[in-house]
């Protein structure tokens, strides 16, 4: 059974960057790909982008292009997402998710809370 | 990629049925059958309830059903129970490997 385990909570200052991780076990990221979704306080779920299966191509929502970078490390079966130029509005829970058994995000990590505050 | 439109809140009494709508455009809901619904409870990761507009994943109660017509997808919860309270989001494929979520609906069991 595949599982996704994310890194712990982060506190960052505005203008800085944060790099989040999502480690997969019981399945390979190259086969399933990996997506990033966030939930800001009082806001809804927001698809940010991810890594496509097989070739590992990164794709981003228009809103995050140029500020977010997603990569996958095949050797450790871990995906990373770096968000730069952080602002207070980036305070959110960040989830990694994949399409494991169905053609939808049916497997999620536990989430990583990112606080952006001066 | 604008968020899909959902009602902010829907409520119902135990045992009743409620329906949540999700309206998109020709770029997403109207062009693909890849609409999913997620249930979110505080402090927990979202849970897939419906995929491909009307299919139920293994383990999800048959009280949950989905449909789609044109630019609007719908989630119906029958026999409403207290445990169904939470936030519900639709999500559609939007082409070029991209996805878009709905604005979210808070379900309250009266």
* B 9-38 residues inside an 8 A Cβ radius of A: 34, 36, 38
Per residue in A34-43, pLDDT tens? 999 999 999 9
B96 in contact with chain A, both atoms CB, cutoff 8 A: yes
Residues of chain B in contact with residue A5, where contact means CB-CB under 8 angstroms, are none
Is the pLDDT confidence value at A55 over 90?
Answer: no
Residue A100: the pLDDT is: 93
A65 contact partners, CB below 8 Å, separation of at least 6: none
Chain A residues with CB under 8 Å of a chain B CB are 35, 37, 39, 44-47, 52, 59, 61-63, 95, 97, 101-106, 108-111
**CB-closest option in B1, B97, B99 to A52:** B97
Q: Cβ separation of B46 and A45 shorter than 8 Å?
A: yes
At residue B87 the predicted structure's pLDDT band, cuts being 50, 70 and 90, is very high
Pairing of strands A92-98, A112-116: antiparallel
Residue A90: the pLDDT is: 98
Shortest Cα distance, chain A CAs vs residue B20, angstroms:
15
Shortest Cα distance, chain B CAs vs residue A9, angstroms:
14
At residue A70 the predicted structure's pLDDT band, cuts being 50, 70 and 90, is very high
Residue B22: the pLDDT is: 98
Is the pLDDT confidence value at B4 over 90?
Answer: yes
Shortest Cα distance, chain B CAs vs residue A88, angstroms:
20
Residue B81, CB half-sphere, CA atoms under 13 Å: how many?
5
**Distance from C-alpha of B29 to C-alpha of B31, rounded to nearest angstrom:** 6
What are the backbone dihedrals phi and psi of residue A63, each rounded to the nearest 5 degrees, phi first? -60, -30
Residue A54: the pLDDT is: 83
**Distance from C-alpha of B27 to C-alpha of B41, rounded to nearest angstrom:** 29
Encoded tokens for B95: 């082409």
Is the pLDDT confidence value at A59 over 90?
Answer: yes
Average pLDDT of every residue of chain B: 97
Considering chain B, what percentage of its residues have pLDDT values greater than 70? 100
**Distance from C-alpha of A37 to C-alpha of A111, rounded to nearest angstrom:** 9
Torsion of CA A105, A109, A115, B1, to 10 degrees: -10
- Answer left, alpha or beta for residue A32, where phi above 0 means left and psi between -120 and 50 means alpha: alpha
Residue A86: the pLDDT is: 98
Per residue in A12-27, pLDDT tens? 999 999 999 999 999 9
């Amino acid at each position: 059974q595949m599982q996704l385990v994310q890194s712990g909570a982060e506190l960052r200052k505005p203008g800085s960057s944060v790099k989040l991780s999502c480690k997969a076990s019981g399945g390979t990221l190259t086969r399933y790909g990996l997506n990033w979704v966030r939930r800001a306080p009082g806001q809804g779920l927001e698809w940010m982008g991810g890594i496509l299966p097989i070739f590992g191509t990164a794709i981003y929502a228009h809103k995050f292009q140029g500020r977010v970078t997603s990569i996958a490390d095949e050797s450790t079966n871990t995906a990373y997402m770096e968000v730069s130029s952080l602002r207070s509005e980036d305070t959110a829970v960040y989830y990694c998710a994949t399409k494991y058994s169905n053609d939808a995000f049916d497997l999620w990590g536990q989430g990583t809370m990112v606080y952006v505050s001066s | 990629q604008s968020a899909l439109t959902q009602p902010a809140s829907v409520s119902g009494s135990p045992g009743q049925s409620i329906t949540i709508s999700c309206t998109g455009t020709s770029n997403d809901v109207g062009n693909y059958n890849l609409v999913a619904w997620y249930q979110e409870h505080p402090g927990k990761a979202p849970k897939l309830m419906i995929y491909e507009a009307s299919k139920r994943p293994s383990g999800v109660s048959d009280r949950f059903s989905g449909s789609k017509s044109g630019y609007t997808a719908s989630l119906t919860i029958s026999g409403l129970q207290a445990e169904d309270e939470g936030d519900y989001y639709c999500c559609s494929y939007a082409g070029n490997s991209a996805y878009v979520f709905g604005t979210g609906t808070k379900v309250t069991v009266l």
